[in-house]
Each structure stands twice: as structure tokens, then as C-alpha cells.
Amino acid sequence: MKTNARFLIPLTLLTSQAVLAAPESDVISKNQREISIMSNILKASIDAEKGIRIRQIKGAYLAEQGYVFNISAKGISGSFGGWRQFFTEPDLDFEDDEVVIRATEMTVELANETYQNAMEALRESSERMREFAEQEREIEFQIREVERARRDLNLERRHTQKEQEDKSVKKEIAKLEAKIAKLEKEKAEVRDKRDDAKDKIKSTTKEKQQQAAEVRKQNILVVSNTLAQTLCDYGAGLKGLNKNQYVNFIIDNATGNKEDLVFVFNKAQINKCVVGDMDAKKLLASAKSYTF
């Protein structure tokens, strides 16, 4: 089979250019080693913080840009179930005639007694609301039955000829009206109890959300300081990067709103911290950070 010479030279040039554009294998191996070592150091450093545990750190090298570390952990937002809120508001659907409670179940560490007490209080309030709603529906059913009986008696009274029979019907109607009044009072009392339980759930939820925001704020501060200090202490090992490249951290779902928190550290600034020209606090201040 003959090879067309017209296509041979361009193909050779294209292949050569592709090889030249790709990082050399020994550079890739070096970067992989540095990423692996730094991942282990980061895990140990963050795990040393109380209540925070690394699930996974994935590192990657972007040619001519730097290293990217994607960090997934639990405990930073205070939820003990990932980078979520310490307290997730139950999915509540309040209707005038019906109350639907769907409590959100979350994975938590059994050691956190405060959290479990809060969840237990919510479950109890939700259960009471269901009971009150059921009682209210039952009372409304009874009221409808009594009103139907009253209508029947009123109809019977219109056709009553004898005075004695009319008095008897009036007496029965009065009893039914008294029963309706009693049921309406019971219904109002049950609704008040239901509203109290609903207010308690909302109050507890708001309180825990405020606690969550504070816990999240403090834990993100701790982790960001840990990242900066780790770069100051061990950044000298990142020899595969030049001063114009970057070390990037992506913290999964750090805000509690399914947003990631991104930190971008310049290698030149890391080098300054390594040799003592700046401290970790200033290094952190020099980094770019944003949510995405």
C-alpha cells in the first residue's frame, strides 16, 4: 500500500507539536508526588482541628497555571454531616385546614448531645402538631354531623303540627346548638395549641440557623488560616511551581447554600511566607477568595 506524501509531513509536524505542547512525563510525575504529599499534609493539618474531618482531597495540576486541591470535609459548617448547616429547617407546609410536617433527617455524630436534643425537641413539636391537626379535623367532622342533624330537625319542625312535638324538636335543636358551641370552643383551643407548637418550631429553627451561621463563620476562618499556615510551613516542597503560578483550594459546599468556597494563593507570595518575609495572616490576606 502506498502512502501519500502530501499527508505525511503535515501529520509528522502535528504530532511533534502535540508532544512539545504536553508537559514532559517526569514533570508530571514530580507534580503528582508534590500534590500527593501536600494532600496528606493538608489532611493532617485540617483533621487536627476539633470537630473537622477530611472526607477527601483531590489534587490536580493545570499546565502553566498551578495546583488545584478540591477539599471535601465534614464539620466545618457545624452540621456533622458535611459542609451543610448545623441545623436544617424542616420542610414545613402549614395550611389552614391541614398541617404537613416532613422533618429532615440528617446524619450526625452521636457525640453531639446539644444537636440531638434540638432535633428531638423538633420531632416532639412536629408530632404534637400532627396530633392537634388530627384533633381539629375530628372536631370539624363532628361539627358537620351535628349541623346536619340540626338542619334535619329544623326541617322536621316545619312539618310538625302538634305544639308538644314542636317543643320537643326545639329542645333537641337547642342541645345540638350547645354541642356545636362546645365543639367550636374545643376547636379554637386545639388550633391555639397547634399555633403554639408551630411558633416553637419556627423559633427553634431560627435560633439554630443563627448558631449555624456563627459556627460556619468560625470554622471557615479556622480552615482558611490552616491552609495559609500549611503553605507557609510546607510550601517550599512545591518546587514544581514557579513564582507566577498558583495554589488553588476549592472547599466543597462550604457556605451551606451548595456554594463552594475558592482560595487562590500566588506562589510568589507563598515563597515569601516560607522564608519569613510575611506571616500566614498576611499570606491569607493576599489570596483571592470567592464563592462559586
CA distances to 24, 44, 81, 85, 244 from 106, rounded to whole Å, are 47, 26, 7, 10, 43
Tell me which of 127 and 237 has the higher pLDDT. Answer: 237
Supply the pLDDT for residue 91.
40
Supply the pLDDT for residue 67.
98
- With cell 346536619, the residue in question is 148
Query: Does residue 6 carry a pLDDT above 60?
Result: no
For residue range 238-285, list pLDDT tens digits in order: 999 999 999 999 999 887 777 899 999 999 999 999 999 999 999 999
Q: Is 248 in the same domain as 221?
A: yes
Q: What is the pTM of this model?
A: 0.58
What's the CATH code of the domain at 59? 3.30.300
Domain count, the chain: 2
The reply to whether 13 falls in a domain is: no
* N-terminal to C-terminal alpha carbon distance within the chain: 56
Q: Is 73 in the same domain as 104?
A: no
- And the C-alpha cell for 27? 514533570
The reply to whether 135 falls in a domain is: yes
Size of the chain, expressed as the number of residues it contains:
292
Residues above pLDDT 90, as percent of the chain: 33
Supply the pLDDT for residue 209.
76
Residues 224, 289: Cα–Cα separation, whole Å: 10
Tell me which of 264 and 164 has the higher pLDDT. Answer: 264
Q: Judge contact between 150 and 177, C-beta under 8 A.
A: yes
Q: Is 128 in the same domain as 186?
A: yes
For residue range 124-133, list pLDDT tens digits in order: 777 777 888 8
Domain edge (last residue) among 189, 211, 233: 211
The reply to whether 175 falls in a domain is: yes
Supply the pLDDT for residue 82.
36
The reply to whether 9 falls in a domain is: no
Domain edge (last residue) among 194, 211, 228: 211
Q: Is 178 in the same domain as 135?
A: yes
The reply to whether 4 falls in a domain is: no
Cross-sheet strand order for the sheet of 53-62: 53-62, 66-74, 246-251, 261-266, 288-291
**Residue 270: domain span:** 24-83+217-291
Query: Does residue 80 carry a pLDDT above 90?
Result: no
Across 35-39, 46-50, 255-259, least confident range: 255-259
The reply to whether 189 falls in a domain is: yes
Domain edge (last residue) among 187, 211, 235: 211
- Burial-class residue 98 by CB neighbours within 10 Å (0-12, 13-18, 19+): exposed
The reply to whether 8 falls in a domain is: no
For residue range 99-128, list pLDDT tens digits in order: 333 333 333 333 355 556 666 766 777 777
Q: Is 67 in the same domain as 95?
A: no
Q: Judge contact between 273 and 283, C-beta under 8 A.
A: yes
Q: Is 199 in the same domain as 95?
A: yes
- Burial-class residue 67 by CB neighbours within 10 Å (0-12, 13-18, 19+): buried
